[in-house]
A and B are shown apart, each in its own frame.
Chain A
Amino acid sequence: MTGRFLAPLAMACAALASCTSQHGDDLAAGRTAQAERAFAVCSTAGLSETVLAQGRPVEDTPAGACAVKAADAGSVQAALFLGDFYRAASTHPNRAWDRIDTFGRETHWYREAAKRGSARGQFLVASEGDRHPYMPLHDNLLDWYIQSARQGNDQAALAIARAYKLGRIQPAELHDFRAWLARNARPGTVRANVAAVLEEDHAPIIN
């Protein structure tokens, strides 16, 4: 008796879940596209050079504020633009940048891009944060490297292999990534080389 109701109920739930998920994905994609369009109309041509020379946060300019608005709305390109701006600021000769937290701002915007699935953003948030080669690789940086590598960023995969060889990663934390490499690495590719490195011995684990 119960079975008569359970099967249709399960089907209805599955259909609803699939529909909801599909609907949610569509909505998110729509919002992202809208945000990218919003960023496209921001007047960013030549903006970076001018504002870098002025030594002030790009958010304080109308075009920068426009980019921030687009990034907050979900534009990956806007987030990467802002991250790149502060990355450039971190080495700019204008001393005014000494009083501005270029690293924090850069990381913030690259992380925003990373959270929205940008492989470049994921790699940059990890590699910019990965500043202490004698220390264990932070779990969250490893997570960004892995996400980027899974999207095809070979630099991220190589960074993981390097950190592994130096004993900066607990081997158990690479369990899923190893399994993924085994499924996705074609012979002769960077991924295959990385997979091979992850099977080799590593330096003593750094604590």
Chain B
Amino acid sequence: MPAPRDFTDTTGRKIPTAWHALAPILGVALVFRLAMASQTIVHQPDEIWQYLEPAWGRLTGHWIVAWEFHEGIRGWLVPMLLTPSLALGHAIAPDTMLHLWLTRGLLGLLSLGVVASFFAMGERISRQHAIIAGWVGAIWVEIFYFAARPSGDGIALTLTVPALCLAMRLRERPSMSLAGMLGLLLGLAFIVRFQYAPALALIGLLAVSGDPRRTLLPLAGGSLVAIALGALADMAAGAPPLLWLWRNFAINLGENRSASFGTQPPWWYVTQIGATWHIAMLVLLPSLVAGARRFPFVALIALVVIASHSLIPHKEYRFVILAIALAVFLAAIGSVDLWKVLAGRWRAAERINATIVLCVLWFLLSAVIGATKPFSAYWGNGRAANTLLAKAGRVPGICGLALFQEPDLPMANYTYLNRSVPVMLLEGRRSAASAQAMAPAFNVIIAPRLAAPQLPASYRQVECLQPHKAPEKQKFCLFARPGSCTGTPGDFDYNTVLRRLGH
């Protein structure tokens, strides 16, 4: 790991730092993150049912409860932290999606810490390294895509990268207050994504290795404060403090429940990263190796994240976003070094502004990855289902919603529906007859297009999303009937049926 630069020259004069370049980079980063925040993208169902929906439930009293909360394997800290922005958005414009834009925008804003940390870590080498590392943190598609996501992975990334930057500083300039702050960041990251524990422990070790006697206790103290916050959040929600940690470990890893969501071979992360970066690997791989020589400890942390997650049969790309972001940081650093080697051998390169060329190159690489498979598929994740839910919530006079033969469960959530009306779930062989029998209890239905003939005759199709797809693949159509509702959801209450189905 490079030592911090000395900002005085041999005559004792101050060398200009690159910090003035950080502001425009942060500006660009913010634009990308706010653009992401404005999009109806749900990368993974957890974003809704583990974080937003419980927070919405705290706010309105209505929420769809996923099996994880019945089993008590999720903590309440993240939902509690998301509640104020949801509440603010709902208070300002209750009939809009402002609550979601504000929440995602706030997360995007907080993730600017990742950009600043990349910049600060690059600044340890040179001004150019700082600018390129910061720029890459700002515009790299995998980083800004997850920056505004209300998910444990994205939030843990936002907490961990600044923690790593702080740990480097703390190692060289031990300080009790900084150690306490680092402990808080690491503790929060642990509560948000405990699977990062080995990486977080390594960062803690790095920080205290400079002066353990001065830093160890404040670091431990800061971590304990974060863990206490997690426990308090659980208690405020009426759950036993931190018991979810043990249950999550016992159920997902001990009983291997997470394997029921799909299993992949141990090398899956490596192949998936390779598939995602594809052509960009030609630049990324040599740059990454060069960068790892500058920051071997960062490379070690990335490897530990990938190795520890590779041991778990259920794998998702987002789980290792910390490792991916750190690898991209290393590649950004390495690209500057490789350019310098190239410039030394190729005279024409000397005459080009390396910083601008590298910034453009990184932007193009990011655009290529974002626009090609497999990453390009992420831009549509969850869009249709949640757009239709929001539209259902805006049907005038909606008094009850039924989800009919929808293939993806759970689909309903009050965060997007934004209406505190009863929601029902009609599934199985008898669902058409049940829709007839229960018809007075709702006046809006969401169903696949092919299911339309099975709906009560009083319903008219309002809209089908994704009309370009074949009829059998049009999963999200909205139907409504005139009139009000009578009766209750009875046996078809969404939460009750969902629990029976094990979702």
Q: Which residue of B lies closest to A100 (CB)?
A: B491
B262 near A90 (CB under 8 angstroms)?
A: no
- CA of A108 to CA of B408, assembled, Å: 18
A139 near B260 (CB under 8 angstroms)?
A: yes
**Is B74 an interface residue when CB atoms closer than 8 A count as contact?**
no
Contacts of A143 in B (CB 8 A): 259-262
A207 near B377 (CB under 8 angstroms)?
A: yes
B472 near A134 (CB under 8 angstroms)?
A: yes
Separation in Å of the B497 CB from the closest CB of chain A?
4
Give the contact stretch, choosing among B294-302, B344-352, B383-391, B431-439: B431-439
B428 near A108 (CB under 8 angstroms)?
A: no
**Is B60 an interface residue when CB atoms closer than 8 A count as contact?**
no
Residue-wise interface mask of B (230-267) relative to A, using a CB-CB cutoff of 8 A (1 in contact, 0 not): 00000000000000000000000000000111111100
Interface residues on B, range: 35 or more
**Is B405 an interface residue when CB atoms closer than 8 A count as contact?**
yes
Contacts of A101 in B (CB 8 A): 427, 434, 491-492, 496-497, 500
B268 near A98 (CB under 8 angstroms)?
A: no
What does DSSP make chain A's interface, helix, strand, loop or mixed?
Answer: helix
Cross-chain contact of A99 among B425, B427, B434, B502 (Cβ < 8 A): B434
Q: Which residue of A lies closest to B380 (CB)?
A: A207
A134 near B501 (CB under 8 angstroms)?
A: no
**Is B169 an interface residue when CB atoms closer than 8 A count as contact?**
no
Contacts of A111 in B (CB 8 A): 502
B500 near A105 (CB under 8 angstroms)?
A: yes
- CA of A175 to CA of B264, assembled, Å: 7
Of B260, B268, B377, B425, chain A has the most CB atoms within 10 Å of the CB of B260
- CA of A101 to CA of B427, assembled, Å: 8
Contacts of B262 in A (CB 8 A): 139, 142-143, 170, 173
- CA of A176 to CA of B73, assembled, Å: 27
Residue-wise interface mask of A (114-148) relative to B, using a CB-CB cutoff of 8 A (1 in contact, 0 not): 00000000000000110110110001101110000
Q: Which residue of A lies closest to B489 (CB)?
A: A101
- CA of A91 to CA of B428, assembled, Å: 10
**Is B430 an interface residue when CB atoms closer than 8 A count as contact?**
yes
Contacts of A95 in B (CB 8 A): 433, 437
**Is B407 an interface residue when CB atoms closer than 8 A count as contact?**
yes
- CA of A139 to CA of B264, assembled, Å: 11
Interface residues of B in 414-443 (CB under 8 A from A): 425, 427-431, 433-434, 436-438
Contact (A102, B430) CB under 8 Å given A134-B472, A170-B262: yes
**Is A172 an interface residue when CB atoms closer than 8 A count as contact?**
yes
Separation in Å of the B494 CB from the closest CB of chain A?
11
- CA of A170 to CA of B264, assembled, Å: 10
**Is B173 an interface residue when CB atoms closer than 8 A count as contact?**
no
Separation in Å of the B496 CB from the closest CB of chain A?
7
B264 near A172 (CB under 8 angstroms)?
A: yes
Of A102, A103, A128, chain B has the most CB atoms within 10 Å of the CB of A103
Q: Which residue of A lies closest to B424 (CB)?
A: A101
**Is B394 an interface residue when CB atoms closer than 8 A count as contact?**
no
Separation in Å of the B468 CB from the closest CB of chain A?
14
- CA of A173 to CA of B448, assembled, Å: 27
**Is A106 an interface residue when CB atoms closer than 8 A count as contact?**
yes
**Is A30 an interface residue when CB atoms closer than 8 A count as contact?**
no
Contacts of B259 in A (CB 8 A): 143
Q: Which residue of A lies closest to B272 (CB)?
A: A172
Interface residues of B in 440-493 (CB under 8 A from A): 448, 470, 472-473, 475, 490-492
- CA of A111 to CA of B313, assembled, Å: 22
Contacts of A24 in B (CB 8 A): none
Contacts of A108 in B (CB 8 A): 500-502
Separation in Å of the B25 CB from the closest CB of chain A?
35
**Is A75 an interface residue when CB atoms closer than 8 A count as contact?**
no
Cross-chain contact of B405 among A90, A105, A131, A207 (Cβ < 8 A): A131
A103 near B475 (CB under 8 angstroms)?
A: no
Q: Which residue of B lies closest to A107 (CB)?
A: B501
- CA of A95 to CA of B436, assembled, Å: 11
Contacts of B438 in A (CB 8 A): 98-99
A104 near B497 (CB under 8 angstroms)?
A: yes
- CA of A102 to CA of B434, assembled, Å: 10
Separation in Å of the A183 CB from the closest CB of chain B?
16
**Is A85 an interface residue when CB atoms closer than 8 A count as contact?**
no
Contacts of B472 in A (CB 8 A): 134
Cross-chain contact of B475 among A104, A135, A144, A175 (Cβ < 8 A): A135
A140 near B428 (CB under 8 angstroms)?
A: no
Which residues of B are interface residues toward A (Cβ below 8 A)? 259-265, 268, 313, 377, 405, 407-408, 425, 427-431, 433-434, 436-438, 448, 470, 472-473, 475, 490-492, 496-497, 500-502
Instruction: Give 12 A-B contacts (CB < 8 Å), ordered by A residue.
Output: A95-B433, A98-B430, A101-B491, A101-B496, A104-B428, A107-B501, A129-B501, A131-B407, A132-B407, A134-B473, A135-B407, A140-B502
The 4 A-B pairs at the shortest CB distance, nearest first, are namely A103-B428, A104-B500, A98-B437, A139-B262
